[in-house]
Amino acid sequence: MRLQGRVTAITGGALGIGRATARLFAAEGAAVVIGDVDVAGAESLAKEIVGRGGRALALGVDVGDAAQVQAFVDRTVSEHGRLDVMFANAGIAHSAPFLEHPEAEWHRVLRVNLTGVFLCCQVAARQMVAQGGGRIIATASINGFRGVENLVGYNVAKAGVIELTKTMAVELAKHRIAVNAIAPAQIDTRLTRSLPEEARQRRVARIPMGRFGDVDEVARAALFLASDDAAFITGHTLAVDGGYLAGGLWSR
């Protein structure tokens, strides 16, 4: 029960990494507020958590809309009195070669993956300053370190999240707020399962451990960063990548 009594907010919580993290945080004693544009999915998960004896609330939120982000945090605080952990996890992707990448998709991806993280973290941090501290976790990606083909908007946004994490950590440390990020490699989610088999195998070949990661493995990294075990860690991006960054382009 490493999060007993703490209030946690998770964006992009209806599916994938967010869903696994909400389940784990609740099992570790946290009250979980699940934010997503997929309100039905968030509500289904909240009902599941409550049915298991946990505490959960589902709220609709478009992380690229400042007013909706503010309302999301305000509702969290009105329900629970505080916000101890913000997991800014919501993200989208668009795949296209650089020369053909539509400008509209560039703006859409950055709006969610970078501006959305900025807004969620800023609003959460203001609440945490007022209450005397907290933890912020952002979902970056190994793509923020490497120029992975056909994902220019996603790569740039995730690189921005890594630098945003460092900047927030430096500025917010005096307020007793720790800020870290997680950089997953290829994780087995609905999105990656939709890839053609050739593309999946090409990605697996780049991971020294020879497999995609599991959403629960990322959730456990988020739990570590949210817990007292990470009390003296801030400004760090934790790769959950099966050795991808260490090994580079691996040939099996």
**Tell me: the pLDDT tens digits for 180-198?**
999 999 998 877 777 788 8
**Tell me: the pLDDT tens digits for 7-28?**
999 999 999 999 999 999 999 9
Active-site hit among 154, 158, 218, 244: 154
Which band of pLDDT confidence, cut at 50, 70 and 90, is reported for residue 204? confident
Instruction: Show me where the domains of the chain are located.
Output: 7-247
The verdict on whether 244 is a catalytic residue reads no
- pLDDT the model gives residue 198: 85
Under CATH, which number does the domain 7-247 receive? 3.40.50.720
Among 2-6, 139-143, 148-152, 218-222, where is mean pLDDT lowest? 148-152
DSSP string, 58-123: EEE--TT-HHHHHHHHHHHHHHHS---EEEE---------GGG--HHHHHHHHIIIIIHHHHHHHH
- pLDDT the model gives residue 248: 63
Sheet strands (E) in 140-222: 177-184
Q: What is the mean pLDDT of residues 64-90?
A: 98
Question: 32 and 10 in contact (C-beta within 8 Å)?
Answer: yes
Quote the pTM value: 0.95
